[in-house]
Structure 1
Amino acid sequence: MYKPRFLTRNIFSGVGNLNVFSQNISNEVHPLKIEKALIVSKLSRYESEKRIYSNCSEHELEKILRKRGTNYEKLVSFHELHRNFENNLTETLNRFGTEVEVVNRYNLTEEKVDDADIIIPIGGDGTYLLASSRVRNNKKPVIGFNSDPSRSEGCLCLPSWCSLDIKKSLEKLQRGQFKWLMRNRIRTTIENNEGDMLNPKCLHDIKGYSLPTFQTGEKNVLPVLALNEVFMGETLSARVSHLQLRLNGSQDKTDLKCSGICVCTGTGSTSWHLSINRLSTQCIAELLRLIDLDSSEEKDGLAKSLSDLYNRNLMFAPEDKRMGYTIRDLISSGVWPNPKGIKPRGFATGVEVQSHCFEAMLVVDGGVSFPFNDGAIAKLEIRPEDALRTVVFKE
């Protein structure tokens, strides 16, 4: 039997000194001159409800929402908080001599994106993903503000202090007190049995909103790049996904039955990828109980340290040229997988997935989906020209 105190001491030390990844961020920075800024503002829940019940008066809308159990006062106050932040940011940019246009998902166009020097999403990560999906090169900066850092993390946005001090943030950008961070994105090419129909579908049921027409310039290349992840699997989650996986251009293919395949970037490694693969402290504690540690205090501390260590190592750098893949709920019994030996999680520079599903979708960043039924083949890769340009402030 091992000596738990020695093991625990080493684990605690390892967690304290752990550096999960080092960001290789470009230091070639010049002051950022912003003449035209496009603010992409989130659609608040209040605005969304007003669109759904567009024929109702304000009083009627309030009655409907209260009957549903919605806290109407909070709904309105969160909307006003976001709108005040939007006005504050616009006025501050104007004082810096910047021409500003404010749009939301309904009037965001490629022309407006092309015309701006910088894209500034305000809201949270959802709005950031929406705005960045309209930028298809690595030249135009996308720099986001979290309009309500007290209620959401907004991992893709600037740090919380930037939302509290917009003027200081813009001054840092003007002075060049930042580093460029190039977040790699996944390019997906689909070959299917349904011709060249790659019409995207919005997964969010928003009244009156339809996805704009995208142009890729390349046959069968999906019109959106994945900043977080690409997921492939049956639409009905209770149905098993039958997929064939090939990694890094190998001729070897593995037949799988699972709950789908998730392929992520370094940026997305902190999101769904982390949630799928995370080990809970409870799980580690159960394993340690099987080892029968003598001291419960030692056991609880070790379980927490081990889970933290494991989960932090699931994340990798946003500019990493590799993709992380996860085979979700891999069936490993009898003849599955075929052949045996594939790892349920790993890294790859190239991923190819062929669908043998009944009614499946390929979903980009949890918001846009494409049909991915029997016979369709998806090829995933990372190219430097597809990276998203954003910033990290110097300490």
Structure 2
Amino acid sequence: MFKYKVQILKKIISGTNNGLDKNSRRYGDCKLPLKMENVLVVSKLSRLEYERSKFKYISEDELKKELVSRGTDYNSLLYNHDLHKTFENKVVESFKSFNAVVKVVNRFSLKEEQTEWADVVVPAGGDGTFLLAASRVKNNLKPVIGFNSDPRRSEGHLCLPKKYSSDITKAIDELKNGNFQWLLRSRIRTSLFCQSKKLVPKYLHIVETPEDAYSCEPTYKYAEDMGTILPFLALNEVFIGESLAAKVSHLEMYLNDSEESTNLKSSGLCVCTGTGSTSWHMSINRIPVQTVAELLRLMDIEATEDKDSLATVLADIYNQNLLFNPDDPRMGYTVRELISVGVWPQPKGLKPRGFVNKIQVRSKCIDACLVVDGGVSYEFNDGVVAVLEIKPEDALRTVILTD
């Protein structure tokens, strides 16, 4: 009996496909130099800068006292701030050494006309800075190329490999010589349909709303409502749910233009791209080694949670299978903590996780929000409808440096 179970597990392992089909990616060797005459460097917003923006009318000594009173290590904030600024200066000077005109902006001053001026947009920070910079690029023509300013403390999945953080000139030289591949990362377009004539975004990581904050005017009709295409494309994910995590989110979903809807209650809905499959999507769906080990024991298979154990191997295979290509035209949806008892969902049969080409969601919530890439939020209360889809023209142009 034990050998039979092991044979089943071996078949599972050998037949697992993590969805990353290398032959499906829509990119190729460029062979042509990248135009970099005008370079826009987008600066990381350090924690210290964020705190300064909250207390802009007090002195640095007073700010230090305020932070220390809260138990914050001011010296650590200052050290990391200086580290990022030093790296940012290296990026600027490296591009200037190639005769580029360089402008530096931060998330408080970044405007679309600045991205239009640039030949290439260069976030200098981590994935958060990259997402911010990418949000101001509205088409698939302008490249966004990120440098990780602190690879010791940040993964920087969206940035160039960490080795280029210590050799910025080498990366620029490769780009100038065309030694890279294009990667068009899919992004999610969101359309909202509601009675409101204006949709005002709420910025989640900025103290003050920027002067050019978008108030979206309706652009076309959908059924009896006025629809608005949001000016923010999601590179990672769109989350929909009640603002207070303890509240149950009541939503109505239509998948892939189906006329049949499903009413569901859950902790919210996360819809991601292939790029975002390494982020929140992975965190929501990943299976712990402990869980796999407990399942094996239920099958009367002796299991440990050691580094090289069967439980660890199976957990790694399962978790890697959650990822899919950043240029995949599909979206991955996940219903968080789906209530699946009694009459919920209505009707039964909805898979809590799957792929879609298009998804429509109607809110039956009280105090909900729709959040794009964890940075911009819109009200999403009872009656509001969101349509999420991926369009080729909305992709984000990025690069992969050829080793």
Q: 1:240 to 1:19 in 2, by over 3 A?
A: closer
Contact 2:109 2:210 in 1 (8 A): no
Residue 2 of structure 2 corresponds to 2
Residue 196 of structure 1 corresponds to 197
Residue 134 of structure 1 corresponds to 136
Q: 1:242 to 1:67 in 2, by over 3 A?
A: same
Amino acid at match of 2:161: P
Pair 1:368 & 2:376 matched:
yes
Shift of 1:332: 0.8
Q: 1:41 to 1:59 in 2, by over 3 A?
A: same
Residue 150 of structure 1 corresponds to 152
Contact 1:216 1:223 in 2 (8 A): no
Amino acid at match of 1:175: N
Contact 2:296 2:302 in 1 (8 A): no
Pair 1:262 & 2:264 matched:
no
Q: 1:27 to 1:208 in 2, by over 3 A?
A: closer
Matching of residues 239-258 of structure 1 within 5 Å: 239-258=247-266
Amino acid at match of 1:319: D
Partner-residue secondary structure (3-state), 2:387:
strand
Question: Given the alignment, which residue of 373, 383, 388 partners 2:396?
Answer: 388
Q: 1:169 to 1:281 in 2, by over 3 A?
A: same
Residue 181 of structure 1 corresponds to 183
TM norm structure 2: 0.92
Query: Alignment identity in percent?
Result: 54
Q: 1:8 to 1:379 in 2, by over 3 A?
A: closer
Question: Given the alignment, which residue of 265, 273, 279 partners 1:271?
Answer: 279
Partner-residue secondary structure (3-state), 1:173:
helix
Question: Given the alignment, which residue of 321, 325, 342 partners 1:317?
Answer: 325
Matching of residues 1-395 of structure 1 within 5 Å: 1-3=1-3, 6=7, 20-22=20-22, 24-27=25-28, 29=30, 30-192=32-194, 194-207=195-208, 209=210, 212-213=213-214, 218-219=219-220, 220-294=228-302, 296=304, 301-395=309-403
Amino acid at match of 1:26: Y
Contact 1:26 1:181 in 2 (8 A): yes
Shift of 1:359: 1.3
TM norm structure 1: 0.94
TM-superposition CA deviations, 1:71-109 (whole Å, max 9, x none): 222111111111111111111111101000000011111
Give me the whole-angstrom Cα distance separating, in 1, the residues matched to 2:132 and 2:304: 47
Partner-residue secondary structure (3-state), 1:320:
coil
Partner-residue secondary structure (3-state), 1:292:
coil
Amino acid at match of 1:365: D
Q: 1:54 to 1:18 in 2, by over 3 A?
A: closer
Give me the whole-angstrom Cα distance separating, in 1, the residues matched to 2:217 and 2:10: 54
Residue 224 of structure 2 corresponds to none
CA RMSD, Structure 1 to Structure 2 (Å) = 2.2
**Matched residues, number:** 393
Shift of 1:383: 0.4
Give me the whole-angstrom Cα distance separating, in 1, the residues matched to 2:307 and 2:42: 48
Shift of 1:36: 0.1
Contact 2:29 2:179 in 1 (8 A): no
Q: 1:19 to 1:362 in 2, by over 3 A?
A: closer
Amino acid at match of 2:273: T
Shift of 1:61: 2.0
Give me the whole-angstrom Cα distance separating, in 1, the residues matched to 2:26 and 2:401: 11
Give me the whole-angstrom Cα distance separating, in 2, the residues matched to 1:117 and 1:27: 20
Q: 1:238 to 1:298 in 2, by over 3 A?
A: closer
Partner-residue secondary structure (3-state), 1:237:
coil
Give me the whole-angstrom Cα distance separating, in 2, the residues matched to 1:40 and 1:298: 43
Give me the whole-angstrom Cα distance separating, in 2, the residues matched to 1:298 and 1:146: 32
Shift of 1:211: 6.1
TM-superposition CA deviations, 1:209-250 (whole Å, max 9, x none): 566237789441011111011111111111111111111111
TM-superposition CA deviations, 1:144-186 (whole Å, max 9, x none): 0110001110111111011110000000000000000000000
| Structure 2 gap ranges (5+) | 221-227
